[in-house]
Amino acid sequence: MSILLPNMAEFDTISELEEEEEEEEAATEEHLRRFAPDPVLVRGAGHITVFGLSNKFDTEFPSVLTGKVAPEEFKTSIGRVNACLKKALPVNVKWLLCGCLCCCCTLGCSLWPVICLNKRTRRSIQKLLEWENNRLYHKLALHWKLTKRKCETSNMMEYVILIEFLPKYPIFRPD
């Protein structure tokens, strides 16, 4: 009884073909991203900022989004984010004041509650934006996310809402 083993050169050929296909897909995806418009930044417009997170975002509709999303939907989404901030940031400010008063006695440990609350607020906004993306914006080839950016006027960091344009994939292109 003899066992037939496949030629090892055939395996090499198959893996080379798979690598070429992966490279083509990556090149096509990079090509699509290169021609996508620049992302839109929605900056904080509030008068209170705690650890880079403003107490509200600007509700003015960016002209770049005209034809992509309705102004009412944009304002509703920003309104939801602002409602989340309105609920959470006053508590953060109170803890920040208490933490600053007790900072010398606690060697800075009294600021930990503010840091944890701020992180919790950021996570809730990120979850809200992900829900908005799944509900509406991914269908419109948009992606909203909360990111940290350097301020234009100083070296400080701030959190902004970044609206990215997702590339449209050619669905009629053969595999």
Q: How many domains does the chain have?
A: 1
User: DSSP for 51-106?
Assistant: TTEES-B--PPPGGGTTTS-HHHHHHHHHHHHHHHHHHHHHHHHHHHHHHHTHHHH
Q: Is residue 115 part of a domain?
A: yes
Q: Is residue 173 part of a domain?
A: no
How many residues in total does the chain contain? 175
Each residue's pLDDT tens digit, 77-89: 999 999 998 888 7
pLDDT at 15: 53
Q: Is residue 88 part of a domain?
A: yes
Give me the residues of the chain with pLDDT under 70, please: 1-36, 108, 169-175
Taking the C-alpha atoms of residue 29 and residue 37, their distance in angstroms, rounded to an integer, is 15
Whole-model pTM?
0.70
Range of the domain at 43: 38-165
The answer to whether 15 and 39 are in contact (CB under 8 A) is no
Each residue's pLDDT tens digit, 1-39: 555 555 555 555 555 555 655 655 554 555 545 666 788
Q: Is residue 139 part of a domain?
A: yes
- What would the two tokens of residue 16 be? 């080379």
Q: Is residue 12 part of a domain?
A: no
pLDDT at 175: 57
Q: Is residue 118 part of a domain?
A: yes
Q: Is residue 1 part of a domain?
A: no
Q: Is residue 174 part of a domain?
A: no
Which residue type does 24 have? E
Candidates 9, 135, 119; CA nearest to 53 is 119
Taking the C-alpha atoms of residue 44 and residue 143, their distance in angstroms, rounded to an integer, is 18
Residue with tokens 């100083």: 154
